[in-house]
Amino acid sequence: MTGLTLDPGHVTLAELESVYRDLHPVRINRTAEAAIRQASERVAEAARGDEAVYGVNTGFGKLASVKIAAGDTATLQRNLILSHCCGVGEPLDETTTRLMMALKLLSLGRGASGVRFEVLELIEGCLAFGVTPVVPSQGSVGASGDLAPLAHMTAVLIGEGEATLKGERLPGRDALERAGLKPVVLGPKEGLGLINGTQFSTACALVALFDSWRLAEATLITASLSTDAIMGSTAPLLPEIHELRGHRGQIEVARAMRQIMTGSEIRESHRDGDTRVQDPYCIRCQPQVAGACVDLLRMAAATLEIEANAATDNPLVLIDADRIVSGGNFHAEPVAFAADQIALAVAELGAIAQRRVALVVDPTLSFDLPPFLAKDPGLNSGLMIAEVTTAALMSENKHLANPCSTDSTPTSANQEDHVSMAAHGARRLGRMNANLAHILGVELLCAVEGIEHRAPLKTSPALQSVIEKLRSKVPALDADRYLAPDLETAAELVRTRSLVSAVSDEHIIRLGAANEPV
């Protein structure tokens, strides 16, 4: 089996992004096998004993005081999975589901869950041969693990539920059979080990992180284009200003924008004699705002990297202490906080970008650009309503950015009386990223139109490459036309890093560890 070999406890964000974007088969490092087998043997031993061990020979949640006979442990685990398949709503997309499965492998691979190695091999087989469980996206409160979503994933492993294979939606057993795989009969604690955990929430949050980082990269380019379009000053990008404050993201954003705008004829044309003393905040304070968002994304990234490497089910097998102990690692509070941090960053990147769009299309502020960038204003409306669309999307993101982590409600007869709401906190980020991509796409269209109005003066070589990339897909707006396809094309250029590939990679900020030096 080819693909990525991941080391439980030591996986990196880059490896996880590769799992998500490149659809690699995944296997765990076989150095983890001994600990996994040792833990599963310890659970099997507990199942044969008389001492009550939660989830091994007892009921679950409020029913933990109910002792289960040794002969019923397999039925107990199967019933657990089937009864917890209560998800609703649209299915999670296949790429995020695959990442969730890889995260579950990594968690089980820590050797503290007591799940047999053969179960991990079946998950590996599903990833290798493209058997992807159909996982409804709603139903988890992110507390006793992502119970419902992970139950739907696990149902396929036991030959139940539904899965997709080569684009076809099938009963789980049929999908396994077509891929040459066999369902498992769950042993003691294995059902619980598979559905306790934060892998659904963490996968959704990681996907949002990967996508929002790409959008943060794109803002460096669209912001630079807008600055040149309105003949903004680059003095606020001077390194001395940002070094006096010291925030890493701010320093890096200013540096990147300086490099991207180097060589602009437009900038040189108004360096002397410009009567404007200061530009509006959306131009002057770009490093301070975008830099703070970058720092926030890095903090979320650090949390999610730790979570991706964590054992998060319950109870946990502590081999060195020879104990099976109930705890609360399944509570997704860290993931909920990380999702809320990402939401704040995405909302603010969109808010300041929207103000740049408004600036470029407003003739009273854009320094001699035509109203709404129309070639014949009045007869043509230009990009008037494209700006209105960005306002709608910005406002929607502001609403969605309200914290989810502060919203708790008791569940399971008050046994689970404080929950994180990490699942929908992470899920809502996909919608926010889609909104931000469209805002930045409109900014791209507006800024390029503005720069082209400055001809024969040219922008910097780096930004000229971006303009050529756009113009290969979207022609100049010589007269009003049906604009919706242009907005979609521009948003796609933003989402796919096509803008970033048009400039030198050295101009773009990297998502490193939060404590990495500037």
Active-site residues: which are they?
54
* Residues 493 and 441 sit within 8 Å (Cβ to Cβ): yes
Count Cα atoms within 13 angstroms, Cβ side, for 22: 11
Q: H or E element: which one contains 171? A: strand 168-171
Closest Cα partner for 398 from 347, 358, 439, 349?
A: 347
The residue count for the chain: 518
Show Cβ contacts of residue 286 under 8 Å, excluding neighbours closer than 6 positions. 223, 227, 236, 253, 257, 352
Residues near 245 by beta carbon (within 8 Å), at least 6 away in sequence: 288
Spatial CB neighbours of 232, under 8 Å, sequence gap ≥ 6: 226, 279, 283, 284
For residue 112, the one-letter residue type is: A
Using DSSP bridges, classify how beta strands 4-6 and 26-28 pair: parallel, antiparallel or unpaired.
parallel
Range list of β-strands (E), 314-372: 316-318, 323-325
Q: Could you tell me which of 362, 319, 358, 312 has the C-alpha nearest to residue 334?
A: 312
For 479-492, the three-class secondary structure string (H helix, E strand, C coil) is: CCCCCHHHHHHHHH
Q: Are 135 and 88 in contact (CB under 8 A)?
A: no
Longest CA span, the chain: 89
Q: Are 198 and 314 in contact (CB under 8 A)?
A: no
CA distance 234 to 284: 8
- Measured in whole angstroms, the distance separating CA 289 from the mean position of its chain's CA atoms is 20
Tell me the CA end-to-end span of the chain in Å, nearest whole number.
40
Q: Identify the residue whose tokens are 């931000």.
A: 436
Token readout for 292 is: 């703070």
* Residue 350, φ and ψ in degrees, nearest 5: -70, -35
Contact between 55 and 314 (Cβ < 8 Å): yes
Q: In Å, how far are 256, 292, 515 from 248, measured between CA atoms?
A: 12, 9, 9
Q: Judging by beta carbons within 10 Å of its beta carbon (0-12, 13-18, 19+), is residue 510 exposed, middle or buried?
A: exposed
How are beta strands 132-133 and 26-28 bridged, if at all? Answer: unpaired
Contact 467, 475 (CB under 8 A): no
DSSP-assigned letter for residue 169: E
